Amino acid sequence: MTPFKSFILFLCFYLPAVAFQANAEPAESLTPAVPSIAASAFILQDFHTGKVLAENNADTKLAPASLTKIMTVYVAFKELGKGHLHLTDLATVSQKARDATGSRMFLETNQQVKIEDLLKGIIIQSGNDASIALAEHIAAQESTFADMMNQHAARLGMKNTHFTNSDGLPVENHYTTARDLAILTTALINEFPDYYPWFSQKEFTFNKITQHNRNLLLGRDESVDGVKTGHTDDAGYCLVASSLREGMRLISVVMGTKSSKARADENQKLLNYGFRFFESHRLYEGKKPLKEAKLWKGAESTVPLGVAEDLYATIPRRHYDELKATIVVDKKITAPVKEGDKFGSVSVALKGEVVSQKDLIALKSIEKGNIFRRAYDSIMMMMEKSDDK
């Protein structure tokens, strides 16, 4: 059997496919219109693929209120991951933190509080005092911590965001967008699965004071497991929500609604729309061989190729059987090969439109073969080149 025939059989086995249609209907028209959302800006995005399912004013710079705290805890989680911070560390509450206005954890000046309690006070109780205390513990002063927030925002690709404080209270030059918040939330859930369950916690008690999570969707929709509410007169009522149903996770961001009920209702509309009319599939598993490619002049004759991470596709419902996969492998792969080297790509299309694509990488390192192997392959490569002519 020729390599080409083997490749075709591989695709048929792993992914149902149909030929492209010359006059195929665009994938976007396969779903109904997005429902009307009463908000200044919103976005609905698939977690695994990043595909945007609905948006309006998603790049408009707006005051984020306490949605700021998603970045505040993200920075802290990063510091925990680096070993620069520990959940059992004690932070001393400053007068500035004690005097914070708005939602509070009710900390006292010079009180020593565990980092874990501060994080839960921020996530569940939306404590402005806890945000300042955490920022000062990590960076000595809040302005330095804001610099850290902005550095992470730039690294994540949050192109229309600038933070000035850790709590989100109104201040000049403090803004973000619905799209940037979706980027941040995706990174937080992806990078910190051990801490993310705190965002679904409905209440938290500190110093014998119990406060409830303001995210109304946590009590309304069992699939919702986060993320954060926000409100100021300037920002209106905001909510970043995330929901997981049957392996498909969606992130919705709604900014500038008129009430706490409205922000929950509008997010619920978006989530229901996304789950009703779209589906997400893991088509290929990361770090698993998709193809054994010919390797020239190597200690081995083939090299396994695959994708670095799981490849997902988000598509309109009931169109899975219409997906078509295409694998392109570089010609004349020559040793030495390092694990992670790119040697082609795999793409998946629906009705002629690419819906997902990733690089094909080497899944193992392979050194050069011995002198006899290299000499033999050099001759064979020249003969193949001659045949091509």
- Model pLDDT for residues 349-384, shown as the tens digit of each residue: 999 999 999 999 999 999 999 999 999 989 888 887
**Structure-token pair, residue 122:** 């921020």
Tell me the three state secondary structure of residue 155: helix
Q: Residue 388 above 60 pLDDT? A: no
Q: Residue 22 above 70 pLDDT? A: no
Closest by CA position to 58, among listed 26, 34, 28, 31: 34
pLDDT tens-place string over residues 123-146? 999 999 999 999 999 999 999 999
Catalytic pick among 126, 243, 252, 356: 126
> Which helix (H) or strand (E) segment is 295 a member of?
strand 291-296
Tell me the three state secondary structure of residue 86: coil
Annotation marks residue 342 as catalytic: no
Residue 243: which residues within 8 A CB-CB, separation 6 or more?
A: 217, 221, 223, 224, 225, 249, 250, 252, 271, 275
Q: Residue 344 above 50 pLDDT? A: yes
Instruction: Give 26's pLDDT tier (boundaries 50, 70, 90).
Output: very low
**Alpha-carbon distance 240 to 252, whole Å?**
6
Instruction: Give 16's pLDDT tier (boundaries 50, 70, 90).
Output: very low
Residue 361: which residues within 8 A CB-CB, separation 6 or more?
A: 305, 306, 307, 308, 339, 340, 341, 342, 343
Q: Residue 110 above 80 pLDDT? A: yes
Catalytic pick among 40, 51, 69, 356: 69
- Distance between alpha carbon 301 and the CA centroid of its chain, in Å? 38
pLDDT tens-place string over residues 37-59? 999 999 999 999 999 999 999 99
Q: Residue 154 above 50 pLDDT? A: yes
Q: Domain-by-domain residue ranges, the chain? A: 3-24+285-388, 39-279
* Rg, C-alpha atoms of the chain: 26
What are the residues facing 345 on neighbouring strands?
A: 328, 359
In 167-290, beta strands by DSSP E: 203-206, 209-212, 224-232, 236-245, 248-257, 278-284
Instruction: Give 249's pLDDT tier (boundaries 50, 70, 90).
Output: very high
Q: Residue 3 above 90 pLDDT? A: no
291 within 8 A of 328, measured Cβ to Cβ: no
70 within 8 A of 255, measured Cβ to Cβ: no
pTM for the predicted model, two decimal places: 0.88
**Alpha-carbon distance 21 to 302, whole Å?**
35
Residue 222: which residues within 8 A CB-CB, separation 6 or more?
A: none
Annotation marks residue 259 as catalytic: no
Percentage of the chain lying above the pLDDT 70 cut: 91
Instruction: Give 29's pLDDT tier (boundaries 50, 70, 90).
Output: low
160 within 8 A of 61, measured Cβ to Cβ: yes
- Distance between alpha carbon 242 and the CA centroid of its chain, in Å? 11
Task: Measure the N-to-C terminal CA separation of the chain; round to a whole number of Å.
Answer: 23
pLDDT in the model for residue 384 = 77
**Alpha-carbon distance 296 to 330, whole Å?**
12
Domain 3-24+285-388 is found in CATH 2.60.410.10? yes
pLDDT in the model for residue 14 = 42
**Alpha-carbon distance 263 to 240, whole Å?**
9
**Burial, 360: exposed, middle or buried (Cβ in 10 Å; 0-12, 13-18, 19+)?**
buried
Pick the CATH number of 39-279 from 3.40.50.300, 3.40.710.10, 3.30.470.10, 3.30.460.90: 3.40.710.10
Annotation marks residue 69 as catalytic: yes
